[in-house]
């Protein structure tokens, strides 16, 4: 990402009735997604032992809490507000999980019915990443238009994106765990351990990275002035396509059982995340030195 020489000014924020509408939309969509997702899991929930459902829920909740603790300090430095954190978690964990699940299933069904693609498993790595990242990015953009942070710049965008990714990652892992237990009713413990290792430990730098990088680009686009619009749009599109590509590669490596490649891609994800965080910090530092943005206030759009 280009560091650029342009300054970052106060980004426009929607307030008043517009802000209320966006908050309500994000909150309702999150609660709706949670309810629908629970209904979608009715089959495995009706078969898998309640004890193991609870154990899985607790394990992934603790895992998510640990990830949130890692994001806590960056969130504080970026002055992300509690409302922004809550809405980001709702959107990523429930809205994206449910809508992406429907969209991915529909694409897979079309692939099976219209081609000789077998079970359509290729859509999981070729199509699903674009769908998931698009829906996640929509939530990030909506949060960027709100006063979700005292100043929504690259740093705040990175944090909001990371929160969306963390919640999506945790919920998706829980869903896959229940589905795995449903398919192997006599191996509940083994399924949980395998999912925790493959998706939780080895695959830790996946969705949190994808969304964080896109979020940083969105935050920079919204807050930066002085750069040509084409360059700003190009950076966002470039970040989005790069993360979709990394997402696709990770999914392919996982589905193809290319363990070494999968681990290597997670290392790449970590390096990309650190580079994006460093870039966002530098961008925000320049913004804080700009006299025109010293107050941290943003013009409102009623």
Is 6 a domain residue?
Answer: no
Backbone angles phi, psi at 80, to 5 degrees: -75, 130
Tell which wins on pLDDT, 186 or 301.
186
Can you say whether the dihedral through the CA atoms of 68, 195, 254, 93 is positive or negative?
negative
Q: Is the pLDDT at 107 greater than 70, yes or no?
A: yes
Q: 163 is in which domain, residue-wise? A: 13-287
pLDDT surpasses 60 at 56: yes
Strand partners, 224: 8
* Residue 2 belongs to a domain: no
> pLDDT per residue over 121-163, tens digit each?
788 899 999 999 999 999 999 999 887 888 889 999 999 999 9
Q: Is 268 exposed, middle or buried (0-12, 13-18, 19+ CB in 10 A)?
A: middle
Q: What is the pLDDT of residue 37?
A: 94
Specify the number of domains making up the chain.
1
d(CA 142, CA 152): 12
Give DSSP secondary structure letters for 18-52: HHHHHHHHHHHHHHHHHHHHHHHTHHHHHHS-HHH
CA distance 212 to 158: 4
| Domain contains 300 | no
pLDDT, tens digit, for every residue of 202-230? Answer: 999 999 999 999 999 999 998 887 788 89
Angstrom distances, CA of residue 274 to CA of 99, 167, 213, 234, 242: 30, 20, 10, 21, 15
Taking only the tens place, the pLDDT of each residue in 12-38 is 567 678 889 999 999 999 999 999 999
Pairing of strands 300-301, 13-14: parallel
The structure tokens 């209904």 sit at 39
What pLDDT is stored for residue 10 in this prediction? 46
Q: What is the mean pLDDT of residues 52-75?
A: 96
Measure the CA–CA gap between 157 and 300, rounded to whole angstroms.
Answer: 18
User: Taking a C-beta distance cutoff of 8 angstroms, is the pair 245, 182 a contact?
Assistant: no
With respect to residue 5, please indicate whether it lies within any of the assigned structural domains: no
Provide φ and ψ at 224, rounded to 5°.
Answer: -90, 135
Structure tokens at 181: 């237990």
pTM for the full model? 0.90
Q: Is there a domain that residue 229 lies in? A: yes
The residues pairing with 301 across neighbouring beta strands, listed in sequence order, are: 14
CB 168 within 8 A of CB 132: yes
Q: How confident is the model at residue 9 (pLDDT cuts 50, 70, 90)?
A: very low
Residue 205 domain-assigned (yes or no): yes
Q: Does residue 148 fall inside a structural domain?
A: yes
Q: Is residue 282 part of a domain?
A: yes
Answer whether 172's CB lies under 8 Å from 185's CB.
no
pLDDT at residue 5, rounded to an integer: 42
- Report the SS3 class of residue 8: strand
| Residues 262 and 202: beta-carbon distance below 8 Å | yes
Over the chain, what is the mean pLDDT? 89
Q: Is 22 or 288 the better-scoring residue by pLDDT?
A: 22
pLDDT at 290: 64
Which residue stretches of the chain are H helix? 16-40, 42-47, 50-77, 82-90, 97-114, 123-126, 128-144, 154-183, 188-195, 207-223, 229-255, 259-288
């Amino acid at each position: 990402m280009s560091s650029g020489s342009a300054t970052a000014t106060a980004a426009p924020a929607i307030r008043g009735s517009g802000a209320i509408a966006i908050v309500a939309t994000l909150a309702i969509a999150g609660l709706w997604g949670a309810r629908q997702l629970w209904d979608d899991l009715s089959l495995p929930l009706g078969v898998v032992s309640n004890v193991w459902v609870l154990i899985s829920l607790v394990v992934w909740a603790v895992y998510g809490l640990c990830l949130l603790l890692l994001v806590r300090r960056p969130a504080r430095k970026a002055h992300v507000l509690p409302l922004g954190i809550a809405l980001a978690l709702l959107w990523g964990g429930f809205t994206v999980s449910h809508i992406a699940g429907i969209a991915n299933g529909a694409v897979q069904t079309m692939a099976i019915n219209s081609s000789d693609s077998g079970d359509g498993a290729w859509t999981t790595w070729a199509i699903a990443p674009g769908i998931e990242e698009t829906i996640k990015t929509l939530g990030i953009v909506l949060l960027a238009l709100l006063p979700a942070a005292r100043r929504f710049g690259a740093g705040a965008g990175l944090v909001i994106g990371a929160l969306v990714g963390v919640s999506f990652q945790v919920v998706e892992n829980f869903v896959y765990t229940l589905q795995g237990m449903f398919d192997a009713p006599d191996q509940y413990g083994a399924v949980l351990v395998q999912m925790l290792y493959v998706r939780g430990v080895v695959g830790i730098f996946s969705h949190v990275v994808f969304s964080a990088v896109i979020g940083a680009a969105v935050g920079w686009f919204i807050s930066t002035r002085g750069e040509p619009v084409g360059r700003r749009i190009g950076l966002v599109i470039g970040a989005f396509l790069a993360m979709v590509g990394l997402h696709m590669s990770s999914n392919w490596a996982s589905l193809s059982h290319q363990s070494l490649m999968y681990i290597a891609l997670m290392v790449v994800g970590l390096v990309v995340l650190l580079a994006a965080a460093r870039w966002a910090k530098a961008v925000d530092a320049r913004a804080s030195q700009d006299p025109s943005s010293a107050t941290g206030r943003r013009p409102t759009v009623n």
